[in-house]
Structure 1
Amino acid sequence: MQVKLIKVSLVLTLLAGQMMGNAWASASPEVAVAPQYDTSHVYVAPADVDRFVKSFLATFGGQSTPQVVVNVLPTPSSTTSQLLQTPAGTVSLFGFTTPVPHPFGQERNGYLVKDLDVAIKSARQNGADVIVHDFPDPIGRDAVIQWPGGVNMQLYWHSKTPSYAAFQTIPENRVYVSSDRADTFIKSFLGFSHGKVLVDDKHASAIDIGRTTDTYRRVDIESTFGRMMVLVTDGHLPYPFGHETTGYQVVDLPATLAKASGSGAKVLIEPFSTKGRRSAMVEFPGGYIAELHQLNPAQ
């Protein structure tokens, strides 16, 4: 009888803890600002910075902020830094003239948040590790977090509230995770972002990841941060799939690819059709690989 009571007590304690955790997640504050404040982090060699800027802006339009040379990290370093703002997505571009301290360069993007301390607390409560504790930068504060599945992201807070124009088309974070960690990652990110699952296709065509005969699991998420595509794979990915971190939605894919090719970028994967979209893979000067897609094309 005593053993049974102990077991019942343990179960009730675990359930209570789970309920408290779920209640905290559902009651946690919204920390996102808007999709146009989500930036893809791009690191290129200093010699490639200008070529990348020229090609990226020629492909998508938009403009660059003035280039500055600054230390943006919590340890000694120096980089050129500028923001490329286009109608299809924003890039934080870095050209380090010193070695890049670990783990920087492994984060896929940066999210602007309303309150960094609250965002860090929410990330932790939803299962993320803070792998770089908060630190000051020239315009605010930052931290780097890692989600279950090894997905690194940077969180930003600016001392002066920025004001950016809304995107014409919202880019997607393309996150590759294993089937072992996919559900945990999705649950954690949804709790943090207050997002929702738009599609959970457990038998999506693997042409999305360069394989013509298989299927895989594709999960589309939408939140105030923007869009995310979670690609749940076995890791058997033909090049260059898995190297891209961002998918850019465009209105006219052939015309956009022509602009990319004409400005120094390489089309690594020619356009292919999959459910609801037509996609291609492009490498910009400096080695940055991106997916470009057009939704529901006429052709």
Structure 2
Amino acid sequence: MRQFHALSLAAALALALPAGSAFAQATDLSVGPQYDTTHVYVPPQDFDRFVASVVATFGGHTSHQGVFQVTPTPSRTISQLVLTPVGTISVFGFKTPIPYPFGDERTGYLVTDMDAAVESARQNGAAVTVSIFPDPIGRDAVIQWPGGVNMQLYWHVRAPHYGALQTVPENRVDVSPDKADEFVHSFTAFSHGKIVSDNLNAPGEEIGEPGGHFRLVRIESGFGRIAVYVTDGHLPYPYGREMTGYEVKDLHATLAKAQAAGVKLLVPPVTAGGRESAMLRFPGGYIAEIHQLLGQ
């Protein structure tokens, strides 16, 4: 029988960072994209199959699996970290009902100072939907940016030692035109990020609308990459359901590995916007975009 512990979302994954002095709000509070995770919730019966399919597709390794309490109110979930060369995934398979609002946060961002990070998020337009709560090895909070984008922030006591990623994944955010500028302004200010590009006429092929166009904003910061998809919301399935886009060196070889591991190809490779991309659904229902940059 697995031992049950009371831990936060991130504590369950045994990530950590040493304590430091208070940071001014103007300080960059990020640590590195290898410590920023996509949060994936899968049914418990699909948990092991999902983890195995991710490793088979992208390579990498996993943390120890256990059953934990990862929320400030009572709950139980299987929890495991999957560290791949193209991005890190926090996997949760809840055995109990999931307390609100957990399950809506798309990512976990490691910060150097939790109090400073939460205050900076507030001052830059975010709402704190789950106030800071302690765990045995750190502290956690959940915030929501303009446009309804939910993220977890976390801070831990012991330093992790993960190598740099081979490629940095993109957090794919869908925001309405009403809130797009507000989200971009708020997040770049918080993250000390920069707008890499703001394309008002990105090809519709990237969102399943051949011949159409939409706005695509790309942001980079110490937290990694964000691709902001600004659309009218008329998206065909599965577009808009994917949270992360993974860059690989050989798209077709990776797709072959994925399909051999039981991953379903939802959208065959499409060439647009300087990349060849496809959409996948992993066991347990997780949908991801996967792409290879052209000319590399």
State if a TM-score over 0.5 links the two structures. yes
What secondary structure, in the 3-state scheme, does the structure 1 residue paired with 2:48 have? Answer: helix
Matches of 1:244 and 1:137, distance apart in 2: 30
Report the Cα offset of residue 262 of structure 1.
Answer: 0.3
Match of 1:104 among 99, 102, 105: 102
Matched, 1:293 2:291: yes
What secondary structure, in the 3-state scheme, does the structure 1 residue paired with 2:190 have? Answer: helix
Q: Which runs of 5+ in 1 are unaligned?
A: 1-25
Report the Cα offset of residue 139 of structure 1.
Answer: 2.9
What is the match of residue 200 of structure 2? 202
Report the Cα offset of residue 160 of structure 1.
Answer: 1.2
Matches of 2:152 and 2:89, distance apart in 1: 13
Which amino acid in structure 2 is aligned with residue 52 of structure 1?
A: F
Match of 1:58 among 53, 56, 59: 56
Which amino acid in structure 2 is aligned with residue 72 of structure 1?
A: V
Matches of 1:273 and 1:160, distance apart in 2: 43
TM-score by length of 1: 0.90
Report the Cα offset of residue 192 of structure 1.
Answer: 0.2
Query: Residue by residue, what CA displacement relative to the aligned partner does 1:128-152 show, whole Å, maximum 9, x if unpaired?
Result: 0000001123431110000000000
CA RMSD of aligned residues (A): 1.1
- In the TM superposition, what are the counterparts of 1:152-163 in structure 2 within 5 Å? 152-163=150-161
Matches of 2:149 and 2:109, distance apart in 1: 13
Match of 1:178 among 155, 176, 180: 176
Matches of 1:52 and 1:286, distance apart in 2: 6
What is the match of residue 264 of structure 1? 262
Contact 1:109 1:153 survives alignment (8 Å):
yes
Matches of 2:172 and 2:30, distance apart in 1: 18
Report the Cα offset of residue 297 of structure 1.
Answer: 4.8
- In the TM superposition, what are the counterparts of 1:17-96 in structure 2 within 5 Å? 28-96=26-94
Structure with more of its chain in helix, by fraction: 1
What secondary structure, in the 3-state scheme, does the structure 1 residue paired with 2:139 have? Answer: strand
Matches of 1:216 and 1:72, distance apart in 2: 38
What is the match of residue 128 of structure 1? 126
What is the match of residue 145 of structure 1? 143
What is the match of residue 250 of structure 2? 252
Matches of 2:265 and 2:132, distance apart in 1: 38
TM-score by length of 2: 0.91
What is the match of residue 117 of structure 2? 119
Matches of 2:243 and 2:75, distance apart in 1: 24
Q: Which runs of 5+ in 2 are unaligned?
A: 1-23
What is the match of residue 163 of structure 2? 165
Matches of 2:295 and 2:152, distance apart in 1: 34
Matches of 1:72 and 1:139, distance apart in 2: 12
Report the Cα offset of residue 276 of structure 1.
Answer: 1.1
What secondary structure, in the 3-state scheme, does the structure 2 residue paired with 1:33 have? Answer: coil
Contact 2:25 2:116 survives alignment (8 Å):
no
What is the match of residue 11 of structure 2? none
Query: Residue by residue, what CA displacement relative to the aligned partner does 1:204-260 show, whole Å, maximum 9, x if unpaired?
Result: 111111000210000010000001100000000000000000000000000000000
What is the match of residue 230 of structure 1? 228
Matches of 1:27 and 1:93, distance apart in 2: 31
Could you tell me the percent identity over the aligned residues? 62
Segments of 4+ moved more than 3 angstroms: none
Match of 1:279 among 263, 277, 284: 277
Contact 2:175 2:228 survives alignment (8 Å):
yes
Report the Cα offset of residue 27 of structure 1.
Answer: 6.4
